Structure 1
Amino acid sequence: MTTGVRRRLGVEERRQQLIGVALELFSQRSPDEVSIDEIASAAGISRPLVYHYFPGKLSLYEAALRRAADDLANRFTEPHEGPVGARLLRVMRRFFDFVDQHGPGFSALMRGGPAVGSSTTNALIDSVRQAAYEQILSHLEIEEPPARLELIIRSWISLAESTALLWLDGRRVPRAELESQLVHDLGALTAVGAAYDKELAAVVRPMFEGEPADGPFGDLVARLIALAS
């Protein structure tokens, strides 16, 4: 019979372990409610050892937030294959997967948490928003968007954040419906903007051309026609 020997973790391995443990706990409860003692216990180490790797909970929270921000930003990456509407719907499903898995932490970040307002937190949030913005432009195959289109996309990203926060507060609307609704929202906002701006109409027209009737944008048109009839 052999006795297992616990391997001593290196500095970076231990840091990554603590970040993972903290992120898991922050996904279950607001970071304000999670103590260093709980993080230490979950990681199987002592409280002083946590402070050896991170000077305080704020620095650990920021490190966990950085990993979560990278994860969230990556969820906006989608192959440029198939209709744009279907691509956006897949992105929204992954976005809500993240929100669902990290509800309390996502809510604390957007509404107020231990690192909210810090330059690090603001930079991380902005990096996710910028990644989402750039991904949408890439799917529209637009490098230099008209001013009105930039306004529409950035406003829509804020709408997606607000929608996710409200959904977390009771989940009163089916998630799948919200995912479709947000794709419809972007299509509708873009169409309204194009009605006022010929330059915008010219650059976004390919977004709607070739969209199948059973796709998200085809569904939006059918719903609007039914509403008007």
Structure 2
Amino acid sequence: MTTGVRRRMGVEERRRQLIGVALELFSHRSPDEVSIDEIAAAAGISRPLVYHYFPGKQSLYEAALRRAADELAARFLEPHEGPLGARLLRVMGRYFDFVDDHGPGFSALMRGGPAVGSSTANAMIDEVRDAAYHQILSHLDVQQPPARLELVVRSWVSLAESTALIWLDGRRIPRGELELQLVHDFAALAAVSAAYDQEMAAIVLRMLADEPADGPFGELVDRLGALLPLVPSPRLG
């Protein structure tokens, strides 16, 4: 008969383990509902040992948020190959993968959870939004965005975030439809802005130049085209 011997972890390895355990628990329940005792039990260590590595729940919570924020920001990384519409659709697929897998954790990250008012948590949220913003600009091949483009991209990032949060409350709309709708939302926001500004119009025309008819942006044109005959003509004069 052999006796199992628990391997002693180094400081950084133990910290990574605790962060992973906390993130897993926070992904299935609100951080407010998860106790240090539960985290300790899931990690197979004592409560005092958790406090040896983290001063308190807030510290561990913010470390878990840091990992979640880094992972979420990475979901916007996408090779600059192929039409933009298809790229954005893949990004939305990975984004909603994260939302689906880490529902309460995603809500806690974006809404603040027990860290409401924490400058650290708020800074992490801003980092995720900023990373998404700069990734979209890089796909548009724009280094110095005009004011209207900045407004479009930042508005769209906020829209994706709020859409995901609302979707989590019941998942009443099929996820795939929302992912495609958000890609269409980006095109629609850009198109409306292009109607007001020549610089934006040039960006949108360049954006659409390589889009196939059967891609996400082409599908939006088809959907709008099917809707137009049903729209009453405006009365002028």
Q: TM-score range by the shorter chain?
A: over 0.9
Provide the rounded CA distance (Å) in 1 between the counterparts of 2:163 and 2:207: 24
Matches within 5 A, 1:56-205: 56-205=56-205
Report the AA paired with residue 70 of structure 2: D
TM-score by length of 2: 0.95
Provide the rounded CA distance (Å) in 1 between the counterparts of 2:167 and 2:180: 14
5+ residue gaps, structure 1, are none
Provide the rounded CA distance (Å) in 2 between the counterparts of 1:203 and 1:158: 21
Shift of 1:2: 4.4
Query: Retained in 2: the 8 A contact 1:109–1:116?
Result: no
SS of 1:114's equivalent in the other structure is: helix
CA displacement, residues 107-138 of structure 1 (integer Å, 9 cap, x when unaligned): 12323411122111111001100100000001
Provide the rounded CA distance (Å) in 1 between the counterparts of 2:139 and 2:109: 28
Q: Are residue 44 (structure 1) and residue 54 (structure 2) matched?
A: no
Shift of 1:203: 2.3
Residue number in structure 2 paired with 1:208: 208
Percentage of matched positions with identical amino acids: 80
| Higher gyration radius (CA) | 2
Shift of 1:199: 1.0
TM-score by length of 1: 0.98
Query: Retained in 2: the 8 A contact 1:140–1:204?
Result: no
Provide the rounded CA distance (Å) in 2 between the counterparts of 1:69 and 1:105: 10
Provide the rounded CA distance (Å) in 2 between the counterparts of 1:73 and 1:81: 19
Query: Retained in 1: the 8 A contact 2:132–2:157?
Result: yes
Provide the rounded CA distance (Å) in 1 between the counterparts of 2:217 and 2:114: 40
Provide the rounded CA distance (Å) in 2 between the counterparts of 1:11 and 1:112: 28
CA displacement, residues 159-195 of structure 1 (integer Å, 9 cap, x when unaligned): 1111001100000000000000000000000001001
Provide the rounded CA distance (Å) in 2 between the counterparts of 1:187 and 1:103: 27
Provide the rounded CA distance (Å) in 2 between the counterparts of 1:117 and 1:176: 34
Shift of 1:72: 0.4
Q: CA RMSD in A?
A: 0.9
Q: Are residue 6 (structure 1) and residue 3 (structure 2) matched?
A: no
CA displacement, residues 13-51 of structure 1 (integer Å, 9 cap, x when unaligned): 000000000000000000000000000000000001000
SS of 1:143's equivalent in the other structure is: coil
CA displacement, residues 81-107 of structure 1 (integer Å, 9 cap, x when unaligned): 110000000000000000001101111
Report the AA paired with residue 171 of structure 2: R
Q: How many residues are aligned here?
A: 229
More deviation in 110-119 or 17-26? Answer: 110-119
5+ residue gaps, structure 2, are 230-237
